[in-house]
Structure 1
Amino acid sequence: MPGRIEVARGNSPLIVAFPHTGTDLADCADAFVSSWLTRRDTDWHIHELYAFAQALGATTVRMPISRSVIDVNRDPSGASLYPGQATTELCPTTAFDGDPLYVGAGPDADEIARRRTAWFDPYHAALAGEIARVKAIHGHAVLYDAHSIRSRIPRLFDGALPQFNIGTNGGATCSPRLTAAVCTACGPDQVVDGRFRGGWTTRHYGQPAHGVHAIQMELAMRGYMTEPDTPDESNWPTPMLAHPPIAPVLRAVIHACLDFRP
């Protein structure tokens, strides 16, 4: 069924979420300027990069619909997660580089509400259900929101991103011990709550006082795929590297999340 949320249940307290790996444009494809531009900012290969997590007992929740149709990591009210900084909306009208995504003006309020009902709400119902399930079993849940982005996007940030961008919204969304364990696993090329402090998912579900610890990981794509200087339709996306240099680090990160106890 197109757009069906993909859930693979594990028996540990860890849930790994993939909000931005989908490329399905559903019934919205004809509204966009081009299918390639609409998919350019996908978190390419991320669910494949973390595929090992299921064998370790993690639950995974994946959205197959493209973030350009509706971004399930944005505030559904439409409020910006990063006031005063360039960002994209609940139903983005531009790509990360600022290119218009739509032939016309983009979706109106009724269309945004339709997309929210069709895809945003089911994704979060699935995610909330899995959080409640593992918390009932273990007494706590760890939500790891898995992302990636091109290393250089001048409209969004200066220079090159660190390899590992950890988001906890200023320490509000998880125990500092979980943050410390993830940082230790990542090594030196990292930042905590830099340009990316955690999206709506991390901020909404992260309630450490109530046993839910949420942390976002935004990877610079150079750690697992080759990034051309100027991505275009002929050279992007590139395949995932056969032996990504960050793969052992990500295993250590996931183990840190699995081993965490409040």
Structure 2
Amino acid sequence: MKVIYEKTNSPLVISIPHSGTDIPQDIAPLCNLGAKREHTDWALQELVTPLSETTLAATVSRYIVDVNRFKPRAGKTTQPIIPRIDDVGHQLFNNYPSKQKQADWLERYYTPYYVHLENLLNEKLEQHERVLLVDLHSYDDKLFGTSNIILGTRKKQTLNQDTLKQLQLLFHEEGLTTQVDTPFSGGNIIATFGKQTRIEAVQIEVPYSLYLEGHLLHPDRATTLQTKFQTIFQKLKMYHF
């Protein structure tokens, strides 16, 4: 994990669970290194750093441990926290980790992410009446029928409706169109924290085309998007938090 700007007075916390690319040395021998790991949220840490908001980012690849997945529940089928296949169906591991290894990886990478994020949010709640958690992601818009900003709210369960309307308006004012809960409605992070008292949470999905050139920031598009995010977040905090 990596924390950026931990001590700020802002009521906003940004979570970036899918930008990590690290494969720990002790795990690498188990991996099929020929597998594709393209659906990474490339360069989001670099994108948000100029915003000076408290940010928690996972550094281990989502293809090792996906910290935004739900833990299995009886009678419920969920995508595994430790995934088995890549985006085109190739095995991610030459030997899928044993249950003991899985438990170890969750203890090392999954649980600490939630503990650290909860601590950051609690610190904010000591300073503010309400706090906003932005779980930030990106997606390859060549693969979807949209290039909109996608706002995930778990079917409007994690974000106050007034806040959602204001957020949509602010994006629109910056020339960015949005859609809600489709094709991404939000994962375990906003589901966990968005139901807590005084915390609102939204998953924001940014299309690659708005800020990337390959896996790196596009110098002009990224700067433009950073400026727009800065304006949106500042106004949202002023109006609602």
TM-score by length of 1: 0.81
Which position in structure 2 is the counterpart of 1:163?
Answer: 148
- Distance in 2 between residues matched to 1:214 and 1:60, nearest whole Å: 14
Letter in 1 for 2:160: S
Is 1:124 aligned with 2:111? no
- Distance in 2 between residues matched to 1:201 and 1:253, nearest whole Å: 22
Which position in structure 2 is the counterpart of 1:229?
Answer: none
8 A Cα contact 2:69 2:81, kept in partner = yes
Which position in structure 2 is the counterpart of 1:234?
Answer: none
The verdict on how the C-alpha distance between 1:80 and 1:186 changes in structure 2, with shifts beyond 3 A counting, is farther
Deviation of residue 138 (structure 1)? 0.7
Letter in 1 for 2:27: C
8 A Cα contact 1:5 1:122, kept in partner = no
Aligned identity (percent) is: 22
The verdict on how the C-alpha distance between 1:150 and 1:52 changes in structure 2, with shifts beyond 3 A counting, is same
Which position in structure 1 is the counterpart of 2:9?
Answer: 11
Is 1:261 aligned with 2:240? yes
Letter in 2 for 1:246: L
Which position in structure 1 is the counterpart of 2:47?
Answer: 49
Which stretches in structure 1 are left out of the alignment for 5+ residues? 154-158, 227-236
Which stretches in structure 2 are left out of the alignment for 5+ residues? none
> 3-state DSSP class of the match of 1:132?
helix
> 3-state DSSP class of the match of 1:61?
strand
The verdict on how the C-alpha distance between 1:35 and 1:117 changes in structure 2, with shifts beyond 3 A counting, is farther
Q: Which runs of 4+ in 1 moved over 6 A?
A: 78-81
* Cα-to-partner distance string for 1:4-63 (whole Å, 9 max, x where unaligned): 44353121110011111111111211211117724x221001111111221xxx211111
> 3-state DSSP class of the match of 1:137?
coil
The verdict on how the C-alpha distance between 1:120 and 1:150 changes in structure 2, with shifts beyond 3 A counting, is same
| Matched ranges for 1:97-116 at <5 A | 97-104=88-95, 106-116=96-106
Q: Which has the higher contact order (CA 8 A, sep 6+)?
A: 2
Is 1:75 aligned with 2:75? no
Which position in structure 2 is the counterpart of 1:232?
Answer: none
Is 1:240 aligned with 2:217? yes
Letter in 2 for 1:205: F
CA RMSD of aligned residues (A): 2.4
Which position in structure 1 is the counterpart of 2:211?
Answer: 224
| Matched ranges for 1:67-216 at <5 A | 67-77=62-72, 88-104=79-95, 106-153=96-143, 159-187=144-172, 189-207=177-195, 210-216=197-203
